[in-house]
Amino acid sequence: MFEHINQMKKALDDNRPLPKYAVKSLREKLLLDWTYNSNAIEGNTLTINETKVVLEGITVGGKTLREHLEVINHRDAIHFVEEIVQKGEPLSEWQIKNIHRLVLKGIDDEYAGVYRDQQVFISGAKHIPPAPFLIKEEMEQLMIWYEQAETKKLHPVTRGAMLHAIFVGIHPFIDGNGRTSRLLLNLELMKAGFPPIVIKVENRITYYEALDKAHTQKEYEDFIKLVADEVEDSLNLYLSAIK
């Protein structure tokens, strides 16, 4: 599955550094696409053009304050993830809570960066997240899995996809788990030198079904394949800048 991805990544690496303005425009495009799609998956009704306008600091009439904040917060969370990558900081529970705190800032400050104290259910999914009293232990287990030598040997696409899937299965927060999980996935990819990916809102059903299969059957192949396809898309985008 990863042979073609590895070849594309090598072609990209062989042409680094990319032209400065190409990198700037690619980054802006991915920041917009990532923010729009990640929010749209969760029900935000802003269009991609409205999302662009909000990122430029303009208010869109007829849209809620929450929808505006989701855009601004997501942009800030991306910047924070980029900072972690640039500094080479290791992933920790503290970092995960900080990412989530940015996602929910001004939307639900009481629960921003705080593990949930109530049972939640994922609409449309067979999987039921663990009870609140189990979250701390499950998150500790996730970090133990992440730090294992065997996990570090996994291909970055597999490692990032599984980090996303396991995290969102725990559903440690009241709200904002989906956005946080996609930020964690891209954090893992970017640390390995891959461009960030965009899980597209039009693939939402396939995405949810693959996640539910991972959670209920511990079969991650469908989800890893979905992520791998998006990795190819992002690599193609970057490679188009050097042709």
Q: What is the pLDDT of residue 176?
A: 97
Q: What is the pLDDT of residue 125?
A: 86
Provide the 3-class DSSP secondary structure of residue 60.
Answer: coil
**How would you write the pLDDT of the chain (243 residues) with one tens digit per residue?**
799 999 999 999 999 999 999 999 999 999 999 999 999 999 999 999 999 999 999 999 999 999 999 999 999 999 999 999 999 999 999 999 999 999 999 999 999 999 999 999 988 889 999 999 999 999 999 999 999 999 999 999 999 999 999 999 999 999 999 999 999 999 999 999 999 999 999 999 999 999 999 999 999 999 999 999 999 999 999 999 887
Q: How many CA atoms lie within 13 A of 22 on its CB side?
A: 12
Provide the 3-class DSSP secondary structure of residue 75.
Answer: helix
The DSSP 8-state label assigned to residue 130 in this structure reads P
Q: What does the CA dihedral 167, 193, 202, 41 come to, rounded to 10 degrees? A: 40
Q: What is the pLDDT of residue 182?
A: 98
State the distance between the two ends of the chain, measured CA to CA, in whole angstroms. 25
Q: Specify whether the backbone of 43 is left (phi greater than 0), alpha (psi in -120 to 50) or beta.
A: left
What residues are annotated to the active site? 171
Tokens describing residue 232: 């190819």
29 vs 18, 22, 33, 129, 181, CA distance in Å? 16, 11, 6, 34, 21
Q: What is the pLDDT of residue 163?
A: 98
Residues with Cβ within 8 Å of residue 181, at least 6 apart in sequence? 164, 165, 167, 168
Q: What is the pLDDT of residue 1?
A: 79
The whole model's pTM is what?
0.97
d(CA 109, CA 103): 10
* Exposed e or buried b per residue across 36-56, where buried means at least 16 C-beta atoms within 10 angstroms of its C-beta: bbbbbbbebebeeebbbebbe
